[in-house]
Amino acid sequence: MWNRQPSEQELIDPGNTGLGHRQVQRWNLPDGWVISTRPAHLALVSEADFIAVQGMRAAAEGTRSERCYLLAGLLRCGICGRRLESCWANNRAAYRCRHGHSSASRPDPDRPKNLYIRQDRILPHLPALYVLLAGPDLADWPTSALPLGVADIIGRLRADRITLVYDPETRALRADTREEVKVILDPAR
Output the pLDDT for position 58.
Answer: 66
Pairing of strands 92-97, 85-89: antiparallel
Output the pLDDT for position 64.
Answer: 53
Q: What are phi and psi of 133, to 5 degrees?
A: -65, -40
Q: d(Cα 149, Cα 130) in Å, to the nearest integer? A: 10
Q: d(Cα 21, Cα 13) in Å, to the nearest integer? A: 8
Output the pLDDT for position 31.
Answer: 87
pLDDT block averages, 10 residues each, the chain of length 189:
84 87 87 82 86 75 70 92 91 87 70 87 90 72 62 90 92 88 74
Output the pLDDT for position 93.
Answer: 94
Output the pLDDT for position 110.
Answer: 78
